[in-house]
Structure 1
Amino acid sequence: MPIPSPNLYPEFNTVRLSHVEFIVKDLAASRAFYVDTLGLQVSYEDKNAIYLRAMEERGHHCIVLKQGAEAVANVLGMKVYGEEDLDRAKSFFEKKGLPTEWVERPYQGRTLRTRDNFGIPLEFYHKMDRLPPIHQQYKLYKGVKPLRIDHFNCFSPDVDASVAFYSEMGFRVTEYTEDEESKKLWAAWLHRKGGVHDMAFTNGRGPRLHHTAFWVPTPLNIIDLLDLMSTTGYLKNIERGPGRHGISNAFFLYILDPDGHRIEIYCSDYQTVDPDLEPIKWDLKDPQRQTLWGAPAPKSWFEHGSLFAGTEVRDSSLSATPIIAP
């Protein structure tokens, strides 16, 4: 199926992705992973929750960790351009027959909670508490030196339907994989902020969160993280990489946190600001689409994902598969 034409004037204006909230079963173990190992900065913490930000971020948080009985992804957050966009977003989702409510969220202004067409929990806000800049406080840099949250990737049972929905919201496709036999989308990458993606969708049982990605300064930071993880008890948490993607051209590493939430460490993709930039098409059987160089993705990378809170999961009807490592 052809990908949708870009919608340059959507009903409401999403600036970028913003944050994710994870429920974790052991808050201390998660703190050791995200703060002591990856190097995210603590904005606030108590016995029930930890709010974290990366080094270039001025907003209060990009990850919220909350203590709970079951490890799930609670919500994916997006920032909108202005307060009026929140009201327009509410109208947009209500016209789709999707639930909406105003919720109170610490450190955020007025926040709209809703779900997408497959039930992914989303929240939109305009204002978040600003914190002093720390990007030049080099004494704080540690771990992989994360600079900012970069994107989400989600399993979708129907990538064509997910792409159509987010395209209507103004997200623009940069790259996509099409199954030549069915002519259906197997995966797609969509952006708002001018990178390769804020949101991506991969064919599979879903909706589930495949990964949350953080941008780092250089590939050498990823090598440093591998040395650190392999000597501090996290060797088994290294799932895939390092390598370079064909799609996005990014240097990557995939790791799992103590609860199995997948994190991508990511750098070196390219700019996509021009509104008339043509998407790049990939064949599903091209061995360099997922991995330009490096070991092919393991089976777990195509099957494991984080459940979304309160969301029904369904199988995909598209059975086509890419190349998988033995």
Structure 2
Amino acid sequence: MSLPAPVLYPPFNTIRLSHIELVVTDLAASSAFYADTLGLQITHQDSTHIYLRAMEERGHHCVILMKGETPCVNVCGFKVFSESDLDEAEKYFQKIGHKVEWITRPHQGRTLRTHDNMGMPIEFYHHMDRLDPIHQKYKLYHGVKPLRIDHFNYFSPDVDASVDWWNNLGFRTTEYTADEETGRKWAAWMHRKGGVHDVAFTNGTGPRLHHLAFWVPTPLNIIDLLDLMSTTGYVANIERGPGRHGISNAFFLYILCPDGHRTEIYCSDYQTVDPDLEPIKWDLKDPQRQTLWGAPAPKSWFNHGSTFKDVPLKKSTLAAQPIIAP
């Protein structure tokens, strides 16, 4: 299937991805991983939640850890340009028949909860509590020195349908992988903020979260994290990398938290702000699209993902054959 024409004037203005709420079984273990090891900064914690932000972020949180019995994802959040965009979003989702509700979220203003075409829970807000800048408080930098949340990658049972739906919200495709035999898309990368992606979709049973990602200054930060993880009891949590993707040109590392949620550490992609930027097409059989250099992805990278709470899964009908490490 061909790519839909980009919607340059969407029904409401989403600026970027913003935050994610992960359900974890042990807050202390999760704090040791996300704060002490990765280097995210704790902005609030109590007996049931931990809120964290990265070093460049002024908003109160980009990750919320919520204690629960079973690991899953509660919601992914996005920031809109203005309060009026929230009202326009409500009208839009009601028009297309999606359930909407206004929820109370600590440290955020009005927050609109809904879902995408696959049932994945998403929320939109404009105001979040602003905190003092810490990007020049270098004594706080540790771990991988994460600067900001960068993107979400999801498993979708129908990548073409996901691309069409998010395209209508103004998310523009930067790169995509096509199965030449069927003409269907196997994966796609879509953005709002001017990087390669805010959201991406990979063929597979879904909807599930494949990973969330953080931007770091240099590849050396990733090497430092590998040294740290290998000497502090986390070597088994290193799943894939380091290496460089063909798609996005990113230098990458994939790691798993104690509850199995996958995080990518990421740098070196490129600017995509031009509205007439042509998407880059990759053939599924091209080995360099996934790994320009580095070891091939393990089987777990294609199969493992985090489910969304109370959202049923659907299998993909696209029988793609990606390159898998032996």
- TM-score w.r.t. the length of structure 2 is 1.00
State how 1:131-280 maps to structure 2 within 5 Å: 131-280=131-280
Runs of 5+ in structure 1 lacking a partner?
Answer: none
Partner of 1:7: 7
SS of the residue corresponding to residue 30 of structure 1 reads helix
Q: Distance in 2 between matches of 1:244 and 1:118?
A: 30
SS of the residue corresponding to residue 288 of structure 1 reads helix
CA drift of 1:16 comes to: 0.1
Partner of 1:103: 103
SS of the residue corresponding to residue 229 of structure 2 reads helix
**Does structure 1 residue 88 correspond to structure 2 residue 83?**
no
Q: Deviations over 1:240-283 (max 9, x none)?
A: 00000000000000000000000000000000000000000000
Partner of 1:40: 40
Partner of 1:297: 297
Instruction: Give the fraction of aligned pairs with identical amino acids, expressed as a percent.
Output: 74
SS of the residue corresponding to residue 289 of structure 1 reads helix
Q: Deviations over 1:5-26 (max 9, x none)?
A: 1100000000000000000000
Q: Distance in 2 between matches of 1:92 and 1:213?
A: 29
CA drift of 1:195 comes to: 0.1
Q: Distance in 1 between matches of 2:179 and 2:91?
A: 35
Partner of 1:325: 325
Partner of 1:56: 56
Partner of 2:72: 72
Q: Distance in 2 between matches of 1:82 and 1:145?
A: 30
State how 1:25-36 maps to structure 2 within 5 Å: 25-36=25-36
Runs of 5+ in structure 2 lacking a partner?
Answer: none
SS of the residue corresponding to residue 92 of structure 1 reads helix
Q: Distance in 2 between matches of 1:208 and 1:99?
A: 20
CA drift of 1:85 comes to: 0.6
Q: Deviations over 1:112-160 (max 9, x none)?
A: 0000000110000000000000000000000000000000000000000
CA RMSD in angstroms comes to 0.4
Q: Distance in 2 between matches of 1:169 and 1:91?
A: 13
**Does structure 1 residue 19 correspond to structure 2 residue 19?**
yes
Matching residue's letter, 2:21: E
- TM-score w.r.t. the length of structure 1 is 1.00
Q: Distance in 1 between matches of 2:106 and 2:60?
A: 10
Q: Distance in 2 between matches of 1:164 and 1:136?
A: 41
Matching residue's letter, 1:133: P
Q: How many residues align?
A: 326
